[in-house]
Amino acid sequence: MLSMIGLIGGLALLIILTMRGMNLLVVAPLCALFVAVLSGMPLFPQLAGEGEVNLIGNYMAGFSGFVAAWFLMFLLGAIFGKVMEDSGAADSVSKWVVTKLGMKKAVLAIVVACAILTYGGVSLFVVAFSVYPMALSLFKQADLPRRFIPAALAFGSVTFTMTSAGSPEIQNWIPIEFLGTSPYAGWEVSLIVAVFMAVFGYWWLKKMITKAASTGERFEAREDDPKVLEKELPNPIAGLIPLVVVLIISFIFHDSLEQSALIVALLGGVIATYLLNRKFFTDFWAAVSGGTLGALIAIGNTAAVVGFGGVAKAVPAFDTAVNAMTNIPGSPLIGGAIAVSVIAGMTGSASGGQAIALPILAPHYMDLGVNPDALHRTVAISSGALDSLPHNGYVVTTVRAICGETHKAAYGAVGALTVIVPLLGLALAIILFSFGLGI
């Protein structure tokens, strides 16, 4: 009983402290300590028997294991995003989309710009930073309530693109190691689900904005609003080509190199960006350094939460919870989806939730004969649902740091589009797989 209180209390504490803006590198170990103490776990290796669980050992095993497995992907992904940003390639693609769709479809233009950049492998955070100034300008010209900008950015980035088949985002690649699949696993179902989420989510976003505007909400300018910099940008084609290079290389090498194909693909994207847009760089090596720092922060925060999960999954209450979720009657895909989604919600990280859940769930479900492609796609989609609760790092950064909004004003729309819409997409995916589609 105390162990369950510790597990639930530790999660609640993690959410509360993160919502208050505390650093995850500090918060996660503190919350892990809370879980360990209430579960009677020894705090130091010296206080435990050889091979027995302990707070320091389990926390650092989770932390370092995640860094060892994913550092190069985070590093190259962040560098690719920064060189796309510094060269103006990301802005060029975004402005091209906006120009083609026009002012009357301002919200759609923002969503599409984010989707193209995200599916091309640009870091979610870089996409938000890159598209926000243009989103602000469009919302101002269209006189739309600015509190919906975070929802538009998040919807285009973390719903129908991040976890879809073929996406070079890390959330689509983690299952490969545990299931022996490819990034295109379950692509038929993935395509249907992505179209559903895109169409339904856009309709809902427009409905929320229209309703707010009809009650008198208008755009409110602020003194510190960023200006869209008027500098010479590359040709949009030169901005799109590196995104295509990432997708093509990952497709060519995914069978032979598996996860490592993403390293080659992102490196190819960096090289292509430099070769095609080198005269537009403000400072290439400064962009590389900025990407490196961003990668360290991103993987550090995620690994900190994975470390918390490393402690959480070693306490008795965790086994009880996982057993309950994996023995849910009906399709095994339902149990897997619930388990991954709940753990991703606990950790506030889709990638962290997968890294914690899959080593436990994959062998169990593979032994039951579950189709690995179906499990891969179900796990990927489910990880992108409850991970977007208010304490998620991307949500906090986008709502507060980038858009300057409060959770009270902006999170309702963000939560609707990044939690509820993916959950509906997940339900659709399970139904389609249950009827044998894509298997």
Boundaries of every domain in the chain: 2-215+233-434
Note the pLDDT of residue 244.
83
Q: Distance between CA atoms of 291 and 284, rounded to whole angstroms?
A: 11
Determine the average pLDDT of the residues in 103-112.
Answer: 81
Burial per residue of 252-278, b for 16 or more beta-carbon CB atoms within 10 angstroms, e otherwise: ebbeeebbebbbbbbbbbbebbbebbe
Cβ atoms of 424 and 159 closer than 8 Å: no
- Greater confidence, 196 or 157? 196
Q: Tens digit of pLDDT for each residue in 367-404?
A: 888 899 999 999 999 988 888 887 676 787 778 767 87
Q: Tens digit of pLDDT for each residue in 50-64?
A: 778 888 888 999 889
Top-ranked range on mean pLDDT: pick from 94-103, 183-192, 357-366 = 183-192
3-class state of residue 154 by DSSP: helix
Q: Tens digit of pLDDT for each residue in 120-130?
A: 777 676 677 76
Cβ atoms of 112 and 152 closer than 8 Å: no
Lowest mean pLDDT among 80-84, 181-185, 187-191, 424-428: 80-84
Which residue in the block uniquely carries the two structure tokens 């299952």?
175
Share of the chain above pLDDT 90, in %: 21
Note the pLDDT of residue 152.
94
Q: Distance between CA atoms of 296 and 392, rounded to whole angstroms?
A: 17
Q: Tens digit of pLDDT for each residue in 136-152?
A: 777 877 788 999 999 99
What type of residue sits at position 326? Answer: T
Is 173's pLDDT higher than 80?
yes
Note the pLDDT of residue 371.
92
Determine the average pLDDT of the residues in 225-247.
Answer: 77
Is 16's pLDDT higher than 90?
no
Note the pLDDT of residue 190.
94
Cβ atoms of 209 and 148 closer than 8 Å: yes
Q: Distance between CA atoms of 189 and 211, rounded to whole angstroms?
A: 33
Is 349's pLDDT higher than 80?
no
Nearest in space to 80 (alpha carbons), one of 252, 255, 216, 274: 274
Q: Tens digit of pLDDT for each residue in 420-436?
A: 999 999 999 999 998 88
Q: Distance between CA atoms of 233 and 239, rounded to whole angstroms?
A: 9
Q: Distance between CA atoms of 272 and 241, rounded to whole angstroms?
A: 8
Determine the average pLDDT of the residues in 156-171.
Answer: 87
For the chain, how many residues are written?
439
Top-ranked range on mean pLDDT: pick from 153-167, 239-253, 339-353, 394-408 = 153-167
Q: Distance between CA atoms of 222 and 153, rounded to whole angstroms?
A: 19
Is 78's pLDDT higher than 90?
no
Cβ atoms of 107 and 150 closer than 8 Å: no
Is 200's pLDDT higher than 90?
yes
DSSP state of 259: T
Determine the average pLDDT of the residues in 71-81.
Answer: 82
Burial class (CB in 10 A: 0-12, 13-18, 19+), 291: buried
Q: What is the mean pLDDT of the chain?
A: 84
Nearest in space to 128 (alpha carbons), one of 141, 119, 118: 118
Cβ atoms of 411 and 395 closer than 8 Å: yes
Share of the chain above pLDDT 70, in %: 92
Cβ atoms of 59 and 311 closer than 8 Å: yes
Determine the average pLDDT of the residues in 195-213.
Answer: 95
Note the pLDDT of residue 313.
80
Note the pLDDT of residue 12.
85
Q: Tens digit of pLDDT for each residue in 265-309?
A: 888 988 998 999 888 888 888 888 888 887 787 778 778 877 887
Work out the pLDDT band at 227, boundaries 50, 70, 90: low
- Greater confidence, 183 or 321? 183
